């Protein structure tokens, strides 16, 4: 629709309205925000126009069961995309993307191995991406898997912000037209971990290392329209505050 086809009564509103992007953080999942192998988290996104391409998950990743010393067991934090075996997007309660992919973690990892360089992996902040090729731990001064563990557990803050499916295609969704958008993620199984027994440590001890997440949160960008009246009031307040300084 061209500007000439807009009725005269609406032209001012259409020309003076402003769209802005607002980051909505600290979105909690329904139920618990902590879990381990196979557990799921479901998020209801804000009822607005959402940019699914901006979706991010934040959580604390914890490994327990490592054994310090030369005859102990060490493990490295898995890169963040390995943590989620399923990522399903729902629109009005109906699965719109991801429901048929039971191992998104394997698909994404294959894409990384095929096209990602060491430099690219090192540039991925808070994802421990370098574990994918070097088996090192970003959160522990790039400690290798063959190094001795310094404690019985290790934790770090992780970020996942690149998802296959709907965010790569129809990423802008107006929920007033399509209905509530939800995203459900399921944690992977024990195969996501790399653990190694050292010296006289046993394979059974290495298998006993466990992985869990806590403080799971989501964040996403939403598009908001500011009416001419609200924009004028905001501008007026800004001018008044500047004048008050003189």
pLDDT per residue as tens digits for the range 47-104 = 889 999 999 999 999 999 999 988 999 999 999 999 999 999 999 999 988 888 899 9
Q: At what angle do helices 228-244 and 8-16 cross, to 10 degrees?
A: 50
Total residue length of the chain:
246
Give the pLDDT mean for 121-128. 81
Of the listed ranges 19-33, 81-95, 104-118, 207-221, the least confidently predicted one is 104-118
**The domain 19-244 is classified under which CATH number: 1.10.10, 3.40.1520, 3.90.249, 2.40.50?**
3.90.249
Q: What is the pLDDT of residue 223?
A: 86
What is the arithmetic mean of pLDDT over 136-159? 82
Domain boundaries, the chain: 19-244
Whether pLDDT at 131 is above 70? yes
pLDDT surpasses 70 at 10: no
Beta bridge partners of 187: 84
Q: What pLDDT was estimated at residue 167?
A: 80
Give the pLDDT of residue 239. 36
| 10 or 114: which leads in pLDDT | 114
**Would the pLDDT of 191 be above 50?**
yes
Average pLDDT, the chain: 83
For residue 188, give every residue at least 6 positions away whose Cβ sits within 8 Å of its Cβ, in sequence order, or none. Answer: 37, 82, 83, 84, 85, 105
pLDDT grade for 130, boundaries at 50, 70 and 90: confident
pLDDT-above-70 percentage for the chain: 82
In this prediction, residues 128-155 reach a mean pLDDT of 81
Residue 4 pLDDT greater than 80, yes or no: no
pTM of the model: 0.79
**pLDDT per residue as tens digits for the range 161-182:** 988 888 877 688 888 888 999 9
User: Read out DSSP for 80-135?
Assistant: GGGGEEEEEEEETTEEEESTT-S-HHHHHHHHHHHH--HHHHHT-TTTTTTHHHH-
- The mean-pLDDT minimum among 123-137, 185-199, 229-243 falls in 229-243
Q: What is the pLDDT of residue 54?
A: 92
Tokens of 157: 């803050």
């Amino acid at each position: 629709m061209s500007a000439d086809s807009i009725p005269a009564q609406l032209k001012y509103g259409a020309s003076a309205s402003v769209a802005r992007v607002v980051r909505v953080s600290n979105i909690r999942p329904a139920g618990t925000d902590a879990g381990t192998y196979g557990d799921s988290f479901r998020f209801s996104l804000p009822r607005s126009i959402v940019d699914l391409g901006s979706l991010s998950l934040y959580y604390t990743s914890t490994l327990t069961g490592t054994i310090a010393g030369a005859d102990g067991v060490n493990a490295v934090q898995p890169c963040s995309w390995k943590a989620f075996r399923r990522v399903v997007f729902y629109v009005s309660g109906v699965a719109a993307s991801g429901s048929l992919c039971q191992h998104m973690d394997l698909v994404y990892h294959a894409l990384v191995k095929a096209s990602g360089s060491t430099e690219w992996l090192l540039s991925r902040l808070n994802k421990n991406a370098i574990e994918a090729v070097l088996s090192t731990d970003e959160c522990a001064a790039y400690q290798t898997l063959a190094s001795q563990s310094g404690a019985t557990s290790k934790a770090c803050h992780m970020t996942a912000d690149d998802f296959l499916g709907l965010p790569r295609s129809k990423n802008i969704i107006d929920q007033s037209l399509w209905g509530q958008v939800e995203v459900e993620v399921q944690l992977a199984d024990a195969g996501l971990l790399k653990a190694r027994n050292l010296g006289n440590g046993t394979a059974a001890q290495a298998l006993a290392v466990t992985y869990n997440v806590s403080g799971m949160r989501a964040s996403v960008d939403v598009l908001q329209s500011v009416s001419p009246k609200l924009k004028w009031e905001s501008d007026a307040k800004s001018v008044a505050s500047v004048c008050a300084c003189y």
